[in-house]
Every structure is written in structure tokens, then in C-alpha cells.
Structure 1
């Protein structure tokens, strides 16, 4: 039996992000916090539209990490955007020894720290783009203490002024490793965009103008759960096809070439036969035996 999807890995990084989906009335901007490992979602939760992206993150992020380390990996590191680097959230992660790295929003204090590094000094300008990391400590207004901060300075040929951005982390890794790990967020954000494009994020209630707030929340949570389940199932199919064909498969390509195809159902005796359209038949002939050999975990 094959079990390629549910293997518990040793170390894994989770990209913390949120997205919005439209609801009428008081919930015009509900958002959904997602913790993801590669292309798999560990958990989802919903909050009201008037709450910031890090609302109650000090409570639910450690809980999600604990669940991830119980079922998916031995040690989890959280990578997050600037919306989650408030003092309360970072204190909660530090107190539970959860590794993190995240980007900081620019502010006057950080701009003053960066000022000595932003103007190119005397000498011949660089012929190629250059980048280096300056390590320092910094305490934001909502933080209770100073934390390790990395200033990433970038220089482009032909530009007199340099650019920079800041990362905060509690990891004891070398600065270059922290930066390289942060740069991998592009893959996670790409999968988030793929989720929005193929699965969708809008969460309308089923009874517009009639349902109360609790009913709207319950329906939105259920619909979000179904969409995340659809993403999981499509990823399983995608991963299997990539192994079988040796090609990369996007969710959109999977939907159009494998799932969204014509088929005819025939009933003979006690059996149902699905007659799939000829263009998709070779792919399904490869896919079905592979899915049958997979070892699925027991319910619960």
C-alpha cells in the first residue's frame, strides 16, 4: 500500500496568511486564517470582517502549531507577514518555543536604523545587483523587549539609493539562511492564489437578508471547510498525476483536463459504469489504480 500524502515529516515551515471573501451586511469583509504546509491546509477558521488579520492570533496560532506537530511534523516553524508580528502574538510564540520569522512594516524608527545603509558610498558603483544582511536588535511599540531583527539591504546598478526591508525572528539560524527561508514564501503564496483562482473564497449565506449572524457564521464555516476539503482532494489527484506523468500539474489544468470532462453513467445489474470521454481516458487509466493502492488513514 502506498502512503505518499500523509507522511509525518521531521521539520516543516507553515506560511501564515489570510484571505477575504464577500458577505453582505455586517460581515462585508470576513477573512479566513490559514496555516499551510506546502500545499496542504492544517486547519481553517473564520473571523468577523471588522477584526484585523492577527485578531486572537496569540491563541489560535500556537494551537494550530501544536496540532501540526502532533499529526504532520515533529517541529514546525511559522513564517508570517507583517500583519502577525504584533507583540502579543510574538510573546505567545516565544513562550511556547515556537520558531518564527516575519516581515516588519516600515516605520520612522526602522527608517532611521536603515538610513546609514541606504546611500551608496564613494567608489565605483556595482555592476551587478548586490544584497547583504545587517543584523541588529529592535523593539517595536507593542513589544515588551528587544528582538533579533535582520535588515536586508539591496543595491541595483545605476541607482544611487539602496532599498531595504526588515525581518524579525527568534531562530538561531545564520542571517543568510533566515533570508533564504523567508524567500520561500513565494511558493506558499502562489498556492494561496491558486486556491482563490480554482476553488474560490466568496462565502455568501444561503438566505440573504433572513439568516441571523450566528447562522451566517455557521454556513460560512461549513462552506469554507468544504472548499478546503476540495483543495485537499484535488492536491492528492495532482500529486499522483505529477508522479505518473512526470509533468507539473496546476489545479486549473487538473480541473479542465481530468475532472471537468464529459461522462456517461450506465447501470447493468448491480454495477454502475462510468464511461469517460476519450480525451481524458488515458489519464484516468493511470490514475485509478494508483489511488486504489494508497493507504488512507482511519477516520478520526
Structure 2
């Protein structure tokens, strides 16, 4: 029996009592599923080998793999703040999921090498260590590596896909404070960062994110970002990667670079007065569609915009909408020829960007990255003013690390989502996966060397369905 908490008397039903027991109870049982997804893909093992550990070996309690895994699992389970790690240090399911130790060792105190999860200061120091340039480079590469492992595991003999589409866009990340590099952005009307992000159109996996200052243009740094990313994607994921992006990105240097490397692309072109005159838009207003009937009309030609080095294929899309006097129009520019991608197919292909925007939205709404690192010089040291007010962190780099870790955690939960969709034959949102599959209450029982998680029947049914598909993540055939 435990301690009855008499102070918690319920007015609506006095027969209900609250009892506290010293048992291993958790609401995070799904962390063991995320760990299994990680284990099948080998992500944290790979990161442990590739990252540079700068810690003093004599003071290490948690391995680098365990620290990174702790961060990823906490983010995947919905815990955004490192302060939450302190409150969850004794959580049995998280300790099992994070530990490199086998059997029941992770739950037996110091026998497991540590008495609980890493503390908030330890995880904050991890972020600072990952902010080193060589480690951030590894985290960028890890997103494509992770995606490639998952997709190639489901291919015969682990080969790469033939062709994929990479969606690229800018993403507003609102901040509350004066984090280094953040700024007020008049277009969005908030103080924010403006990272550039890329995803795989066909699957929804995130491929890379790069933090940028809050007031930069959408195309800022896009050339280097896309060029480096395509090299990694065509090494790990596919033979040929096409690119799709919005009106803020097309510029001569980027388009020329994509054409030079033979990368197919389609992008929206800004609706300028020059283009309107070139297209002679008024002549399309009476294009044969009965008044009041909606219709879509496509016209194409070779067009050379000011600043372009040559003429390119441009498709004008004219939308006549019911009860609207003037039609709506926009332009697409592409490197595909008419034979490779007819105008109607090109429009449908471009419109599928909406799926990518939905995945970006899930990253922001479900994981909701907290980019709060800022330079805070010490005002006191052991009760006295410090001799030197040195700032030991690169706050901008720290925030990029937090964004990258959120993207890696997104991909882990997304992998579980894909398995659930395959197992049930229905769509699953990221939030639904977290609430129904990951945030599961359990009682953790220890029997000698065996650990038993006791969960509800409904949750067990969903877990069993997911388990039938976990074998598809076997990466043994991938070289």
C-alpha cells in the first residue's frame, strides 16, 4: 500500500482517493519504440562515431551516444526544454530507452553507470559541444544519412531510388527575446529566425535545415545550401534529385548552377509588371471559358527575364474563378522540356508543394523548436563580480544545433508514423502518433534480469501493429 493523500478530496465524487506509491510508473513508454526505430536505423550509433567528443574522459558519466539519444527522445516525446530533463531523470521508460546497457541494468542505479538521465547542465554543455563547426557539419549530414537508410532499407538489395524531388523553402521560427541573429521581419510581422529547410517530396523526410538571420531574403544562401544538399542526396538517397521551390528563390546564379549540374527544377516566378506586359495578360481574359465558369488555362513560351543569362521555358497559368471579374495568373519556370514534362503535368507537380508545406508545419506545430540560446555573461562568480566577463558560447550556432536536433527527432517520429500508416492503411498525423502511440502510460516491473512494461490493451494493439512493420527498417543489406 502507498500513502493516501487526504488533501485531494474530490467534491464531485468523494469515493475517489489519491494514493502515492514508490513504483516505476511512466507516461513515456513510447520512448522505447522511438529507441527501437533509432536502433534499426543506427542513427545515434553513427553520430557517436562521427561526432567529436571534446570532454575530459575522467569526468564522463554518460556516453556521447546516450547524450544525443536523450535529447532526441525528449524532443520526440514533446519535451522541448532542457529543464524538463531534470524532472524526468528517474523516468523508467526513458532510462531504458536512452541507456546503452542491456537487461535491467539501466534501472538499477549506479550499476548502469548513472543513476538517471543526464541533467539540464549536462545537456546544455552537449549543445555547446555540438555547436562546434565540425559537429554541426555532421548533424547536417545526419539528416540525409538517416533518410537514405530508412528508404534504402525498403528497396531490393538496399539500392538507391531512381529519382526524387527536393522541396526547398524558407521557414519562419518566431522567438521571444533578443537571441543573436534574430530580427523583426516585416513580412511575417514577428521577431524571428528565417532558416532555409529542405524535405523529400515523396516521403516527407527532412533533408536539411540551416539557420539564418531573421531579416534575410528567402534566397539568401540558397545556392550553397542546395548545391551541397543535392550532392549528399544523390550519394545516399537517389540517382537523380529534382528541385522544387517558390517565387523567392529563382535567380540567375542558382538556376544556372542547377542547369550546369543537370538538375531538373521547377519554380514559381514573381508576378512582375514586365512579365505581365510580356504575357499580354489582357488577351487571356476572354479565353473561351463561359462567364462565371471556373477554368485553368496554360500558355508557354521561351522567356528571358532581366538578369537571366538566357531564355528559359516559362509556363503561364491563368485561373478564371467564378464571380471574379479578373483572372488570377502566375508563372512557372522550369528546365524540363515540353516532352519531358507537359504543361499540365508541370502544374500538378508544382502544386504538390502543399504536401511539403504541411510537413514543415508539423515540425513547427508538433515539435515547436525552442531556439532560446542567448549570450548571458556572468554578472557574479561565487558572490563576487567576475574578473573577466567572457562569453563562452556561440548563441547562433547553439540555436542551429537545437533546430537540427529537432529535425532529426522529427524524422524519427516520422519513421514511426510511416510504419503506422503501412500497418493500419490510414493516414496518421505526427501529433496523433505522439498522443496515441508514444505518450503511453505504463508500469515498469523488474524480475531479476527481465523488464516488463505493463500498458493498456488499446495501446498494446497499436504497438503490435507497428511491430509487424519494424522489420522493414532492417539496414543489414545497405553498404
1:262 Cα deviation after fit: 1.2
The TM-score normalised by the length of structure 1 is 0.89
Q: Which residue of 1 aligns with 2:447?
A: 268
Q: Which has the higher strand share?
A: 1
Alignment of 1:27 with 2:192, yes or no, is: no
Note if contact 1:120-1:161 (Cα within 8 Å) is conserved in structure 2.
no
* Aligned residue in 2 for 1:107: 272
Q: Distance in 2 between matches of 1:212 and 1:168?
A: 47
Q: Which residue of 1 aligns with 2:151?
A: 5
Give the 3 Å change call, closer, same or farther, for CA 141–108 of structure 1 in structure 2.
same
Contact kept, 8 Å, 1:11 with 1:75, in 2: the verdict is yes
Partners of 1:109 and 1:293 in 2: how far apart?
A: 52
Q: Is the 8 A contact 1:126 1:156 kept in 2?
A: no
Q: Quick one: structure 1 residues 193 and 117, their matched pair in 2 at CA, closer, same or farther if it must change by over 3 Å?
A: farther
Q: Is the 8 A contact 1:20 1:201 kept in 2?
A: no
Kept in 2, the 8 Å contact 1:5–1:236? The answer is no
Cα distance in 1 for partners of 2:394, 2:264 equals: 37
Q: Distance in 1 between matches of 2:295 and 2:420?
A: 40
* 1:259 shift after superposition: 0.8
**Could you give the per-residue CA deviations for residues 243-282 of structure 1, whole angstroms, max 9, x where no partner exists?**
1112211111111111112122222212332222343121
Of 360, 364, 379, which aligns to 1:192?
360
Report the counterpart of residue 470 of structure 2 in structure 1: 291
Residue aligning to 1:151: 316
| 2:349 corresponds to which of 176, 181, 184 | 181
Contact 2:423/2:468 (CA < 8 Å) preserved in 1? no
Residues 1:203 and 2:371 are matched in the alignment: yes
**Structure possessing the higher radius of gyration over alpha carbons:** 2
Distance verdict in 2 for CA 1:285–1:25, change over 3 Å:
closer
The 3-state SS of whatever aligns with 2:371 is coil
The structure showing larger relative contact order (alpha-carbon pairs under 8 Å, at least 6 residues apart) is 2
2:199 counterpart of 1:36: yes
Report the aligned-residue RMSD: 2.7
Within 5 Å, give how 1:83-94 maps onto structure 2: 83-94=248-259
* Closer/same/farther in 2, CA of residues 72 and 159 from structure 1, 3 Å limit: same
The equivalent residue for 1:134 is: 299
Aligned to 2:93: none
**Matches of 1:86 and 1:124, distance apart in 2:** 34
Q: CA offsets, 1:13-66, max 9 Å, x none?
A: 111112122442442232222221131122222223343221122222122112
Sort the Cα spacing of 1:250 and 1:119 in 2 relative to 1 into closer, same or farther, 3 A.
same
Counterparts in 2 of 1:236-251, with a 5 A limit?
A: 236-251=415-430
Deviation at 1:288, TM superposition (A): 3.1
The worse-fitting range, judged by mean Cα deviation, of 47-56 and 62-71 is 47-56
State the alpha-carbon separation in 1 of the partners of residues 476 and 392 from structure 2: 36
> Counterparts of 2:321 and 2:285 in 1: how far apart (Å)?
12
The answer (yes or no) to whether the contact 2:292–2:322 under 8 Å persists in 1 is yes
**Structure 1 gap ranges (5+):** none
Distance in 1 of aligned mates of 2:289 and 2:261:
48
**Matching residue of 1:253:** 432
Q: Which moved more, 1:27-36 or 1:212-221?
A: 212-221
Give 1:59's aligned residue.
Answer: 224
Count of paired positions: 298
Structure 2 residue matching 1:47: 3-state secondary structure: coil
Asked if 2 retains the 8 angstrom alpha-carbon contact of 1:22 and 1:202, the reply is no
Cα distance between partner residues in 2 of 1:269 and 1:293: 32
**2:261, 2:320 → 1: CA distance?**
38
